[in-house]
Amino acid sequence: MKFSPLVDELIHSLRCLPGVGPKSAQRMAFQLLERNRKPGLQLAETLAQAMSNVGHCKSCRTFTEEELCPICASNKRGNSATICVVETSADVLAVEAGGHFSGRYFVLLGHLSPLDGVGPEELGLSLLEDHLKSGDISELILATNPTVEGDATAHFIADMASRHNIKVSRIAHGVPVGGELEYVDSTTLALSFNGRVPI
């Protein structure tokens, strides 16, 4: 015998969250019931709204409930001639946290993975090509992850950009700042030697 049907259902539903197993779900349910009822209700409302209303920015494909995301809608940045291509919306935040990039983004929401049925269409590359065709873009910075799929995606997009005679670059890969050579894997080290810059 478990708990009452509604409590059981709450525990079960919480497991749709990533990283939440049976024990965590139980702990979450009881904590909410014991002393977080108001924030719990607030979460329920926000969740329902977000699941129904959040779509994609029609310019950069990131998640937004409006037509354009705050970055694309901003006067300063929305017309920038530089586009940074990233895999996920979280990557946008990571780049923004640095504060060194002031152009626009294009969010692929994934990477090329033919075996999983993810092709150029799923990544919205036709939309990216429309941007390239428009003539407003001077540079494309490819910031996909340095994985096999991320690299393949970067190469595919680089080919596309070169067809439109647009300058295209890939972010540098090498030893991270604060890292120690001793603990860096050999592939990264090889990349950092190949990508050495004169000082």
Q: Which stretch in 26-34, 115-123, 152-160, 170-178 sits in contact with a copy of itself by CB under 8 A?
A: 26-34
Q: Which of 21, 58, 59, 74 binds a copy of itself (CB under 8 A)?
A: 74
Q: Which of 59, 60, 61, 64 binds a copy of itself (CB under 8 A)?
A: 64
Q: Which of 52, 75, 134, 194 binds a copy of itself (CB under 8 A)?
A: 52
Contact 84, 106 (CB under 8 A): yes
Nearest approach in angstroms of CB 168 to a copy of itself is 25
- The answer to the question of residue 70 lying near a copy of itself (CB under 8 A) is yes
Nearest approach in angstroms of CB 15 to a copy of itself is 9
Q: Which stretch in 16-24, 130-138, 144-152, 190-198 sits in contact with a copy of itself by CB under 8 A?
A: 16-24
Q: Which of 33, 81, 148, 189 binds a copy of itself (CB under 8 A)?
A: 33
- The answer to the question of residue 79 lying near a copy of itself (CB under 8 A) is no
What is the total count of residues that contact a copy of itself (CB under 8 A)? 58
- The answer to the question of residue 54 lying near a copy of itself (CB under 8 A) is yes
DSSP states of the chain as a string?
--S-HHHHHHHHHHTTSTT--HHHHHHHHHHHHHH-HHHHHHHHHHHHHHHHH-EE-TTT--EESSSS-HHHH-HHHHT-SEEEEESSHHHHHHHHHHT---SEEEE-SS--BGGGTB-TTTTTHHHHHHHHHTT---EEEE---SSHHHHHHHHHHHHHHHHTT-EEEE---SPPTT--GGGS-HHHHHHHHHT----
